[in-house]
Amino acid sequence: MNKASCALFVILLLNTSFKQPPAYDKGRKVAAKTIIDKTVQARIDATLKSFVDSGTIAGVSALVIEKDKEVYFNAFGYSNQKEKTAMDRNTIVRIYSMTKPVTGVALMQLYEKGAFKLDDPLAKYVPEFAAMKVYKGVDASGKLVLEPARRPITIRDLTRHTAGFAVGTDLPGLSELVKKTDALNPRNTLGEMVKKLAALPLQFHPGDQWAYGPSVDVQAFLVERLSQKPFDQYLKENIFDPLGMINTGYVVAQKDLKRLAAMYRKTNGSELSPIPDDENTYNIRDWQLKPGGFGLTSTIDDYMKFTQMLVNKGRVGKATILKPETIRLMATNHLSDTISQRMWLPSKGQVGFGIDFAVRTRPTASKDENKGVVGEFFWDGAASTLFWIDPVNHLTAVLFVQIFPFDRTLHKRFRDAVYGEYTPG
């Protein structure tokens, strides 16, 4: 092995050191104590009702299953205030980035079939991403200054947001180029999106930072290419149909539009204002782009079927979606300590990142952090939706709201209602 190969191996090794969450340690037993009792149910009711009564949101629903038994469901307020449509189990909501874990599961199904290895270069399957350049700045005339990427983007980089893709930044020259390229325009196919992304310089060297962006959309294209099926068709045939997720997809049928929740905006203490449909036509028109990072709609029961598959290590009823060892791999932290720049990920608490999930690696350290157990894996959506998997207590929770901007206080208060408020030690 020459010096260059050795250096590349060391970099890969540093950036792929894993920390196994205790909840999935071999032989670990599920906690015997029950979390959701009548007192906790009443506390969740009071919390969710207060969200609506205070005018913070229009409507909310929450569903919790513990040890394979439904232990909580309730809904408050309206899915559409103007129409006085109550929020309920049949309400369809836009789940935004809660699409990402679904894409991760689709990708890992192909991993199980031997279609790729996590540390394979992305360019092995998508040659457009060969010989990537990295942004260094601009020269005196405003021209971009670029340098060759120190190593290739790997598929693992896609799954943990370390690929280096340029996002909507304020970096001179680069932000304008990202906006002009418009890779995620809904009129693009996934293939067109990939070509446009690959034409952009990277924002940082692969593996150097954690930065949220279009990595999961590239995962969707990889699923499409490896399976030789349109991405939305693959999801339906391999995840939604087997799990009975009959209300989940990219486009809401005309007959179901009355069940689609309205979205609302609230800023600086203002009153709730509905977001007009013409500002978000994504789920009411069949656009070309079927992204992996956002775009799905679902009902609370549908999404709970997905979370139950995860907590039951890949199985629900007769459906086997993934192997237990694959779920374990997805729920393991893949960020080494060398990746110190992590955008806003620290705002999620004491977490690392696995394969399309945040993974809690340490106990809650202060009253201002979200409550949760070590080994939990979870994610949320731009309209403030949330889910988490608690493998220690064999508990899954889904929270549905439709409010912008993203309101993390709703998540903290819901978690406090489920687990109780933080106590030191």
Q: Which two tokens stand for residue 405?
A: 């901007």
Distance of CA 214 to the CA centre of its chain: 11
Contact 14, 162 (CB under 8 A): no
Q: Would you state the pLDDT for residue 332?
A: 98
Residue whose C-alpha is closest to residue 49's, from 63, 60, 37, 65? 60
What confidence category does residue 277 fall into, taking pLDDT thresholds of 50, 70 and 90?
confident
* Amino acid 29: pLDDT: 53
Condensed to tens digits (0 to 9), the pLDDT of residues 407-419 reads 999 999 999 999 9
Flag whether pLDDT at 2 surpasses 50: no
- Per residue in 223-243, pLDDT (tens digit) is 999 999 999 999 999 999 999
Indicate the pLDDT class of residue 32, thresholds 50, 70 and 90. Answer: low
Whole-prediction pTM value? 0.92
pLDDT digit string, tens, across residues 125-144: 999 999 999 999 999 999 99
Asked whether the bond before 101 is cis by omega within 30 degrees of 0, the reply is: no
Tokens of 159: 């799954």
Domains of the chain, earliest start first: 18-101+244-419 (3.40.710.10), 109-227 (3.40.710.10)
Task: Return the higher-pLDDT residue of 122 and 424.
Answer: 122
Classify strands 377-380 and 351-353 as parallel, antiparallel or unpaired. unpaired
- Determine the pLDDT at residue 422: 80
Cβ(283)–Cβ(250) below 8 Å = yes
160-169, 302-311, 353-362, 373-382: segment of lowest average pLDDT: 160-169
pLDDT tens per residue, range 43-91: 999 999 999 999 999 999 999 999 999 999 999 999 999 999 999 999 9
Q: Per-residue pLDDT for 394 more than 60?
A: yes
**Do strands 264-265 and 403-404 pair parallel, antiparallel, or not at all (unpaired)?**
parallel
Model confidence at 279, pLDDT cuts 50, 70, 90, reads confident
* Percent of the chain scoring above 70 in pLDDT: 92
Residue pLDDT, tens place only, 184-220? 999 999 999 999 999 999 999 999 999 999 999 999 9
Q: What is the pLDDT of residue 169?
A: 74
Residue 19 pLDDT exceeds 50: no
| Residue environment code for 328-356, b if the CB has 16+ CB neighbours within 10 A, otherwise e | bbbbbbbbbeebeebeebeebbbbbbbbb
Proportion of the chain in helix, strand, coil states, percent, rounded to 5? 35, 20, 45
Q: For 340-355, write each residue's pLDDT tens digit.
A: 999 999 999 999 999 9
